[in-house]
Structure 1
Amino acid sequence: MEIDMTALKWFKSRKGQQTLIILAFMIIPLALLFIFTYLPFGEMVKFSFYKMKYTTPVDKRVFVGLKNYAEVFRNKDIFASLTLSLYYMAGSIVQLALALYLATILSFKTKGGNFFKGLMFFPYLISGIAIGFIFKYFYTRGFVFDTILGWCGFDLESLPYWLKDQKINNWSLVATSVWRYFGNNMVLFIGAIMSVDAEMYEAAELDGANKFQQFLHIILPSIKTIVTLNVILSITGALSAFEQPYVITDGANGTATYFINMNRIAHTNQKVGLASAMAVVLLLIIFACTILQKLFFKYIYRNADQTDEVMTKEERKRRKEYIKQKKAAKKGAA
């Protein structure tokens, strides 16, 4: 009884109530995460070892072991759709380079900077399905894109079929993806660049560093975390491309990405076990790419990691004195 009273007093105390609130805020999200994420994932992994349909009773599912995983790499259509990710990876590199270039320009005083930021970020706010329908008609023979090129002097008969010609249709879809997502990358880069201390640019200018050298030695090392994040998001997005090719071409003429094939195998062909194995393989590939990227950037930024990013008050004071001395010396020379 005495123990129960002690526990009751503790629960009523400030510390006890804080502990209960913390536990409640932890347990509820973790329970939801387990029920709606980890539990379905575990079921999917289990399904990948069976030959089954959605409607197959539990007692009639056929255990096939690793045959579904072997089929992922043996099936030419599946493996070809996985290689299509290389197109989207190449596009993600262009996307990040364009986003970083524009972010560097728009982070400083630029006429109409806010207007251009909003204009380039706007496509990211549009639904992927809507963008798919927009570009479906944009690329259709004789429609918007062909009309614009016709105004520029191109002959319609000499232009390729942007969505049918297998030499160019995947690049057309990649361009759509780049147009949609580069604005989001740009905004993330701008936020990181604007957090860089302005005094570092001033000190670099006094030392004679040009804009490219400032970008290379000040901006890039300072935003390495956001660069790494954007690269990881872009590469994983390239591996899981779905909306644009599904809406624009429905995977026709060699544009079926890994996700489109997975959707077709799972819902049209009712091969749930094979589709589950495809999902697990894709997850492992994404994990491998993420680890390789982190190792790559750790090597690239090894020199930047050797210096402390957060300056102490003494270091800031020394830097300000250095800037003052440089300014005084510059005025004296003038």
Structure 2
Amino acid sequence: MSASTVVRPGSAEQTPRAQRTHRPGNPSARQMTRSAWLFLLVPGVLFLVFMALPIAIALVLSLTDYAIVGDFDWLGLQNYAEIAVDPFFWIALRNTAYYTVLYVPAGLVVALGTALLLNRRQRAVRIFRTLFYIPVVASTVATATIWFWMLNPQNGLLNVVLSWFGIDGPAWLYESQWAMIAIVMMSVWAGFGANMIIFLGGLQGVPGELYEAARLDGANACQQFRYVTLPSLTRTTFLVSTLLIIGAFQVFDQAYVLTKGGPGNSTVTMVYYIYNKGFGALEMGYASALSFILFLIILVFSLVNARLTNRGGVR
């Protein structure tokens, strides 16, 4: 452009190229919009087909006496009324609550403690991170086989170690007061690796300036953990604890493989009871109603956990 050329306001020469090319009404913008909708269409269809539709069907079935074979009748809320007076439902709910009370704090402590130990820059730490994560990708049957041997009352590894200290180990899987504790130990060992990775991500996101300021103020390691690390991990703790609560109320594989719900129904959980009603007794309508009750319980506990976790923490 020569010096004598006059640039008028609003002319094409004055308008940036990006603004001239990507106006809302030009073909490029429309093409990008269509592409975005196409990308959203695939997960949307999958969600409708494999999530929303099955949930709607299960909700309808929960109002019937559907039993896979034969005709079924409309019952309305009768299934839900029967749940309230079903003694086995309350046994399963009590066992699941007991498992949750033991599993969630233990899972949090083990995962966070391991993450604190592995939050270092040494090369050897990567090996331990991999080793601790291996149980997460192992199948439940393989994990249960290992723990079934470890919990053997005669020559299991755990009782052998206890015998070194003069302690007579119990029959873990054959005594009502110890069976659920054994399942909790197996579950914590099998799943803490994933939560450890989440906590590691949270720890590595804490600004180092906060620790430096705390050290300048004379804070020791425990005080730094209490006043710097824990408040900075509020969101991470909420995520991990919510995942643990949901997983605890959905526990099934461990009880099914290790104890089959015994001894004396001491390890019958909610999902195990739903499985027995649906695929054992073929009471699919009643099992569907139990599933929605479990959904409501998980929702309530998740909301309560969100309230407790965020109280006084980072919003």
> If the length of structure 2 is used for normalisation, what is the TM-score?
0.85
Tell me the secondary structure at the aligned position of residue 168 of structure 1.
helix
Matches within 5 A, 1:89-238: 89=100, 90-108=102-120, 112-145=124-157, 148-149=160-161, 152=164, 154=166, 158-238=168-248
Is structure 2 residue 79 aligned with structure 1 residue 65? Answer: no
1:115-166: CA deviation from partner (whole Å, max 9, x where unpaired): 33222222112112211222223223323236623751547xx542211100
Q: 1:88: which partner in 2? A: 99
Match of 2:37 in 1: 23
Code of the aligned partner of 1:19: T
Identity rate of aligned residues, in percent? Answer: 28
Runs of 4+ more than 6 Å apart = none
Contact 1:87 1:174 (C-alpha < 8 Å) held by counterparts: no
- Find the partner of 1:240 among 250, 254, 260: 250
The SS at the match of 1:167 is helix
Q: For residue 221 of structure 1, what is the amino acid of its counterpart?
A: P
Question: Residues of 1 paired with 2:219 and 2:44: CA distance?
Answer: 50
**Matches of 1:146 and 1:248 in 2, distance apart?**
16
Pairwise CA distance, 1:264: 0.9
Distance 1:288 1:80 in 2: 20
Gaps of 5+ in 1: 1-9, 306-334
Counterparts in 2 of 1:239 and 1:147: CA distance versus 1, 3 Å: closer
Confirm or deny: 8 A CA contact 1:141 1:161 kept in the other structure: yes
Give matches, 1:212-291, under 5 Å: 212-253=222-263, 254-291=266-303
Instruction: Provide, for residues 245-300 of structure 1, a one-character-per-residue CA deviation record: whole Å limited to 9, x for no partner.
Output: 11111112121111111111101100011100000000011111111111112213
Match of 1:327 in 2: none
Q: Given the two structures, how large is their TM-score scaled by the length of structure 1?
A: 0.81
Q: Residue 234 of structure 2 contacts residue 310 of structure 2 at CA under 8 Å; is this kept in 1?
A: no
Count of aligned pairs = 289
Q: Once the 2 structures are TM-superposed, how far is the Cα of residue 188 of structure 1 from its aligned partner? A: 0.8
Structure 1 letter corresponding to 2:156: V
Unpaired runs of 5+ residues, structure 2, are 1-23
